[in-house]
Amino acid sequence: MGVARASERRARTAAVFDRVSDVYDSVGVPWFTPIAERLVGELRPRQGERALDLGCGRGAALFALAEAVGPGGRATGIDLAAGMVEATRAEARARGLEQTDVALMDAAAPELPHGAYDVAAASFVIFFLPGPLAALRAWRELLVPGGRLGLSTFQDHASGWLDEVFQDFLPASPFRAASPFDTDEGVERLVRAAGYDAVRSTTFTLDVVFRDLAQWRAWSWSHGQRATWERIPERRHPEVLTAAARHLERFRSADGTYRIGQSIRLTLAERPS
């Protein structure tokens, strides 16, 4: 990807996440927090360690890291969206997590000291970046020898229920390029190419529950999918909701809610000692 296109992509991503920062992960549908907490659990941060959350959003992984490293450690979060940074700083203060700091910074090329972190997490971040391999290499340099990296991605990257609602309302793509995030092997190969050892993946299923169509809509607008809504003329939004009702109906449970099992991949790796 060229420099100009990469810069444009970063600006668009930052702007979208700025617009959702006040509602991100806060509409009553557990999503980013349980995924990030599971990732941090796999990383096993220890008291006194220095931890980094790359693309911290509203602190789903950051706060779990801060609790794990304790007052004697340090947990740093960086994000490209100013609204996310401001809200997460305020939340850290409210929680009394004095071992936490949050900075406005691009996770694709973080300006941080090399060899300064024992553990780093990037939850639902890597596939937004214009150059995933370059980012992984940059992250490796931030870790101490033997330092641990954890990524979360969709186990089924082209997850149907997340995107199929919008397919009839957007320009058709002639083909979908193969992605390293399509398979466990693809992600692991990418991480190894960036110079990591001890690469492995594990998966789990997150039970995603929507009370009704209105809650699904609020959730869909509360994260990166907002960008998809904004590409569709507002006059057609009622049609999107009709399509969503049709697509989600197959997930309706006996209690009237929509229950969807989303498979999540966690990939762990280490910087060579």
Per-residue pLDDT of the chain (273 residues; tens, 9 = 90+): 567 777 888 899 999 999 999 999 999 999 999 999 999 999 999 999 999 999 999 999 999 999 999 999 999 999 999 999 999 999 999 999 999 999 999 999 999 999 999 999 999 999 999 999 999 999 999 999 999 999 999 987 545 677 889 989 988 654 456 789 999 999 999 999 999 999 999 999 999 999 999 999 999 999 999 999 999 999 999 999 999 999 999 999 999 999 999 999 999 999 999
Instruction: Say if 106 falls within a structural domain.
Output: yes
What is the C-alpha to C-alpha distance for residues 245 and 186, in angstroms, rounded to an integer?
A: 34
Domain that holds residue 72: 3-159+179-208+263-270
The total domain count for the chain is 1
Q: Are 59 and 88 in contact (CB under 8 A)?
A: yes
Instruction: Say if 96 falls within a structural domain.
Output: yes
- Give the gyration radius of the chain's Cα atoms: 19
Per-residue model confidence (pLDDT) at position 108: 96
Instruction: Say if 23 falls within a structural domain.
Output: yes
Residue 103: give its domain's CATH number: 3.40.50.150
AA letter at 3 = V
Instruction: Say if 16 falls within a structural domain.
Output: yes
Q: pTM score > 0.95 for this model?
A: no
Instruction: Say if 240 falls within a structural domain.
Output: no
Instruction: Say if 217 falls within a structural domain.
Output: no
Instruction: Say if 213 falls within a structural domain.
Output: no
Instruction: Say if 93 falls within a structural domain.
Output: yes
What is the C-alpha to C-alpha distance for residues 21 and 227, in angstroms, rounded to an integer?
A: 13
Across the beta sheet with 143-154, the strand order is: 100-104, 74-79, 50-54, 117-123, 143-154, 258-270, 197-210
